[in-house]
Amino acid sequence: MCQLLGMNCNVPTDICFSFTGFRRRGGDTDVHSDGWGIAFFEGKGVRMFLDPEPSAESIVSEFVRSYPIHSLNVIAHIRKSTLGVTSLENTHPFMRELWGRYWIFAHNGHLPDFKPELDGNFIPVGNTDSELIFCWLLQSLQQRFGASLPPRDELFEALRELTLPLAGTGIFNYLLSNGDCLVAHCSTELNYIVRCAPFAEAHLKDEDVTIDFSQVTTPDDRVALIATQPLTDNEAWVAMRPGTMWLFHQGEVVGVGDTAPSPVSSLGG
């Protein structure tokens, strides 16, 4: 499997602290050593760094860790391959353009039986099921909404409906962003935290590094972090319930939906 990291903020924020811990999971504190990548939205543009080397040792990841890029939406991924060889074209996140916007996607899991028909507008370059799913999601959005981006809520509901039938057929944790919002689907494991005033100290799990966010923020800043496993050991991360989908915008949760039957209450009845 793989590990996911996402960030969604209300002011452009760098991800250096979180990435410092996250990158260690790629071949050091964890086994995900089949490449890594990170994509930063800056306005409508995207900076993407991809590397088939283990993130814990990669010179490019050391550069990303030390070079602050300020972004409203970031998606990162470290890979433990299940399907597809270790190569640059199989390295997440993946990027495509739809409706004059870039879309970024990263996936943890696999859906071995998913064989969609593609209409030709989005074709995988590599041979992962993850890129195939991404192409099919964008194709489905294009078929549903035609020529233009729908309102955020309609986009989220469409993604939920597209995800619903797949969620039962495999492991399908994913992060998707178009630079405006970030969608997180928890199929088995995904955690999040929203940092806002009053800010406090945070200490990484994977490296002995502490930051005092009160020293590097303003009172209006709000940052949502999403990760396969919590990145810090002294903050109250929220475990997403498997079978839920979350919409983040400007650093907060603005939508939640089910992608699996809700747990049945054992009380009463």
Enumerate the active-site residues: 2
Mark the segment that binds a second copy (CB under 8 A) among 10-18, 94-102, 157-165, 206-214: 94-102
Q: Which residues make Cβ contacts (< 8 Å) with residue 216, sequence separation at least 6? A: none
Size of the site for a second copy (CB under 8 A): 37
123 binds a second copy (CB under 8 A): yes
Residue type, 162: L
Which residue, 84 or 257, is less far from a second copy as judged by CB? 84
**Among 97, 212, 220, 233, contact with a second copy (rule: CB under 8 A):** 97
Angstrom CA distances, 177 to 46, 155, 169, stand at 11, 11, 23
Q: Where are the beta strands (DSSP E) in 21-147?
A: 36-42, 45-51, 71-78, 94-98, 101-108
Least CB distance to a second copy at residue 5 (A): 20
90 binds a second copy (CB under 8 A): yes
Least CB distance to a second copy at residue 205 (A): 28
Least CB distance to a second copy at residue 153 (A): 23
- Name the DSSP letter for residue 88: G
| Distance in angstroms (rounded) separating the CA atoms of residues 233 and 29 | 14
Could you tell me the two tokens for 149? 């981006």
59 binds a second copy (CB under 8 A): yes
Residue type, 18: S
Residue 96 near residue 122, CB atoms below 8 Å: yes
CB atoms within 10 A of CB 239: 12
Could you tell me the two tokens for 24? 């260690």
**Among 112, 121, 161, 263, contact with a second copy (rule: CB under 8 A):** 121
Binding pattern for the stretch 8-47 against a second copy, x by CB under 8 A and - elsewhere: ----------------------------------xxxxxx
120 binds a second copy (CB under 8 A): yes
48 binds a second copy (CB under 8 A): yes
Backbone angles phi, psi at 161, to 5 degrees: -65, -35
Which residue, 107 or 160, is less far from a second copy as judged by CB? 107
Q: Which helix (H) or strand (E) holds 156?
A: helix 152-167
Binding site for a second copy (CB under 8 A): 42-52, 59-60, 63, 67, 87-91, 95-102, 120-126, 142, 147
